[in-house]
Structure 1
Amino acid sequence: MKILVIRFSSMGDIIYTTPVVRCLKKQIPGAEVHFLTKPAFKYIYDNNPYVDKLLLLKPTLSATIQEIKAENYDYIIDLHNNLRTTLIKLRTGIHSSTYKKQAVKKWLSLKFKLKLIPPVHLVDRYLKTVKFLGVINDNQPIDYYIKAEHQLSELLPASHQKGYIAFVIGATHFTKRMPNDKITSICRQLNRPVVLLGGNDVKSNGDIIATAIGPSVYNACGITSLDESVFLVSQAKSIIGFDTGLTHIAEAFNKPIVSIWGGTVPDLLGVQPYMVKDVLVTGIEISCRPCSKFGLEKCPLGHFKCMNDIVDDDIVNFSNK
């Protein structure tokens, strides 16, 4: 049996497809499993032993469809469910099963602050698409494979090499990130050195936090590559992070994780930490939250209480265990 699994974006959503691919490969005898995504997300499936071939979205949809037709798939598992995947299914005529986004319920939940979406993880929602093949959840974590050999001695100062907390301070949107002073306050109370992780977009934030605290905080934002950042997460004693890709990737290593939520909420997206033994999911209940599904560039009401009013104690106590 030859199966194509499709998910184009984003990082977190693709990370949560890995249990589906693994279960297909391991539970269907002789299955050949291919995965189609955007070139920007190729790294998520690099080195993954459960994917026989990785296809990348071409500049034109027609070229992608021609490649799909040439592979003679038995099934398409559509985990994206958008216009492009609909056209792919129509124009190839391949038997398919499609992830149900529950878009109307999500919109109503967001607009009217209703709880219409059952608290079912995205992985379990994805796995419903392969139930017809007899595939079931193996209850194992997500998969992520570090691409190269790295050494802590090459990435961190000596003061941090014997144990540290990784704090992922980056996130695509402002309303997913804690203000610098809140992060600084938390870091001051941690009993281990801290490594700040994120991209160039939060490097200056990391500099402000590290300068305010001193040498116990090392700012790796914008310095380490993604693969190096994942390695640092995998070696950390524990992780603190927001609703962002690197925090989700950290789940592959089953380390204690504090998952902090501001303007977005995990139940709506179904992306709370998956199959991690030791987890703290934190966020405050206020009438204006969630203000968006994926995050905004500023707080719509200006007060940003969903992050500013989070109490440090639970985060600190969990991380200091």
Structure 2
Amino acid sequence: MQPPQHILVIRLSAMGDVAMLIPVVYAFAKANPETKITFLSKPFFKSIVDALPNVHFLAAETTSQHKGIVGIWKLSRQLKKQGITHVADMHHVLRSKMLRLFLGLPSAIIDKGRAEKKALTTPKNKVFKPLKTTIQRYVEVFEKLGFSEIIPQTLPRPDVIEEVHQLIRKTTHQLIGIAPFAAHQGKQYPLDLMKEVIQKLEQQSEIHLFLFGAPNEKEPLQTLAEGCKNTTVVAGMLKFPQEINMIAQLDVMLSMDSGNGHLAAMFGIPTVSLWGVTHPYAGFAPFQQENHCLLSDRTKYPAVPTSIYGNKVPEGYEEVMRTITPKMIVTKLMSLL
């Protein structure tokens, strides 16, 4: 295989998976400044990739011009004009397979470890052991292309931008971010207990809380913040690029097994993550934050993890996250400040 001169890195979704790839591509780009990198992902994730120096972002418009087989073929023609020489497929889904076929270039593909993950999540004859991390799997793709000694690195924290400065300028307190929502209920901490966490943190001195979520989650976040003088709801106030800058200014982040935790971790922010029916053994813990994962009680709920994505909640497992107490969370957060 000829040495790569211009690598196409493919990772179309999801937010957490894209964020976990950033420390790997950052380290690769620093170690190989002569190699061009084009990062292909969905348009919304451009703000994440923009944190990388010397990496070109290309949007995969999978709902419009790049939709379907014809759209992927058009995308391949667009990429060929840019002089791509090799492909690092960090996603390995139907779209990326078609794109590799149309490009006809030397490629390396991520090993998702599907059989191992199935053994980890099966209810019977479960093989409960830690698997390779997703970040390790990303590194292996570059190794297959002939590169070695890639040591993933956190990004330097960016300077605070004006929109974020307006939010934090009134406080000299330490800043804790809280992202209480997740894509699936199986990995979302009960909101009544999260309210208790916020109230307990409010009783601590010199702390200000910022609650993160999508614009449509603003109302339940405001309910969580009711009566709290040192808590600000960020949802709906900032655009996504500004929100990333805000996360990078935090002292600590509290998240579920979800994207916001990975956004914080890519900047080296101490990140406490809460795990329900999923488990860090599947390899999705935030980068360098494995020691800050708070786990549901497997003695009481031995089928955990029940799925990789948190979308499978067996009967009787609806309250699994209540085994993580507010006191445990507050103690962990305070230990990191």
Amino acid at match of 1:125: R
Q: Does 1:54 align with 2:57?
A: yes
Q: For each residue in 1:55-101, what CA deviation from the matched residue of structure 2 results, as whole angstroms up to 9, or x when unmatched?
A: 22233111111112223322111111111211222222100110011
SS in 2 for 1:17: helix
Alignment check: 8 A CA contact 2:163 2:242 kept? no
Amino acid at match of 1:273: P
Distance 1:153 1:18 in 2: 25
Q: What percent of counterpart residues are identical? A: 25
Aligned length: 314
SS in 2 for 1:193: strand
Structure 2 gaps of 5+ residues are 61-65
Q: Could you tell me the TM-score, scaled by structure 2's length? A: 0.84
Alignment check: 8 A CA contact 1:180 1:208 kept? no
TM-aligned CA distance change 1:25 to 1:227, over 3 Å: closer
Structure 1 gaps of 5+ residues are none
Q: Does 1:87 align with 2:101?
A: no
Map 1:19-168; keep pairs closer than 5 Å: 19-28=23-32, 30-51=34-55, 53-57=56-60, 58-59=66-67, 60-112=71-123, 114-115=126-127, 118-132=130-144, 133-141=146-154, 143=155, 149-150=161-162, 152=164, 154-156=166-168, 158=170, 160-168=171-179
Q: For each residue in 1:105-136, what CA deviation from the matched residue of structure 2 results, as whole angstroms up to 9, or x when unmatched?
A: 22232223623664322111111111142332
Map 1:1-321; keep pairs closer than 5 Å: 1-28=5-32, 30-51=34-55, 53-57=56-60, 58-59=66-67, 60-112=71-123, 114-115=126-127, 118-132=130-144, 133-141=146-154, 143=155, 149-150=161-162, 152=164, 154-156=166-168, 158=170, 160-190=171-201, 191=204, 192-211=207-226, 213-268=227-282, 270-276=283-289, 279-284=291-296, 285=298, 286-296=301-311, 299-301=313-315, 304-321=318-335
Alignment check: 8 A CA contact 1:34 1:55 kept? yes
TM-aligned CA distance change 1:153 to 1:295, over 3 Å: same
Deviation of 1:275 after TM superposition, in Å, equals 2.8
Distance 1:180 1:4 in 2: 41
Q: Could you tell me the TM-score, scaled by structure 1's length? A: 0.87
TM-aligned CA distance change 1:179 to 1:222, over 3 Å: farther
Q: What's the C-alpha RMSD, in Å, of the aligned pairs?
A: 2.6
SS in 2 for 1:86: helix
